[in-house]
Amino acid sequence: MKALEEKIRRDGQVRPGNILKVDSFLNHQMDIEFINEIGKEFHRLFGDRPINKILTIEASGIGIACLTAQYFNVPVVFAKKSQSVNLDGDLYCTKIASFTHKRTYDVILSKKFLSAEDHVLVIDDFLANGCAVEGLLDIINKAGATLEGVGIVIEKGFQEGGKSLRAKGIDVKSLAIIKGMTDTDIEFEEQDD
């Protein structure tokens, strides 16, 4: 998505540890008109699938998932990061290592909101090592639901997440894939439309 690449080049800031900050439009302040275009693009890419639910993880994925869900006319369910897991049987639980916060979270989702009848599109802001998406896939598997695809706004193609998910046959579509980044330059992979 060319407009996204231009926005990342213009407003993104590269921080130590391979972190890209896009706080001005995606992760802190949110440019709703632009994220709405992102939602439309995910619908263009996945709209032919029998998706009846969008799954993401708090916090940054929620807004993107919501604007996307309007085009699919389906609910959004988000996995919650939890301090204390109560193993009472009503929750799916998994563990996710956070790339940005350098810690592992227990992540939960109520069994009420995901079941074997569901056909799920996973949405997230970034794909780096793949831990967040792998955690969501673990929850989908526990629910016996069907994964229809994974939509990512920004994939850091120089990290392993995208490669390992695609090697498992998962349909991962990223709107921008960063090949490499330095303080002064961000290079993107060429993508077909």
Binding residues vs ligand 5GP (CB under 6 A): 19-21, 27, 60, 99-100, 124-132, 156, 161
* Least CB distance to ligand 5GP at residue 67 (A): 17
* Least CB distance to ligand 5GP at residue 18 (A): 6
Quote the longest CA-to-CA distance of the chain.
50
* Least CB distance to ligand 5GP at residue 31 (A): 15
* Least CB distance to ligand 5GP at residue 154 (A): 7
* Least CB distance to ligand 5GP at residue 160 (A): 9
Q: Which is nearer to ligand 5GP, 29 or 100 (by Cβ)? A: 100
* Least CB distance to ligand 5GP at residue 166 (A): 13
Residues 173 and 151: beta-carbon distance below 8 Å: yes
CA distance 74 to 82: 25
Q: Which is nearer to ligand 5GP, 52 or 93 (by Cβ)? A: 93
Q: Which is nearer to ligand 5GP, 52 or 81 (by Cβ)? A: 81
Q: Which is nearer to ligand 5GP, 24 or 146 (by Cβ)? A: 24
Residues 70 and 41: beta-carbon distance below 8 Å: no
Residues 133 and 35: beta-carbon distance below 8 Å: no
CA distance 162 to 124: 13
Backbone angles phi, psi at 79, to 5 degrees: -75, 140
Q: Which is nearer to ligand 5GP, 51 or 133 (by Cβ)? A: 133
Q: Going along the chain, which residue ranges are E strands?
A: 13-15, 19-21, 53-57, 76-82, 91-98, 103-110, 119-127, 146-156, 172-181, 186-188
CA distance 111 to 90: 6
Q: Which is nearer to ligand 5GP, 6 or 90 (by Cβ)? A: 6
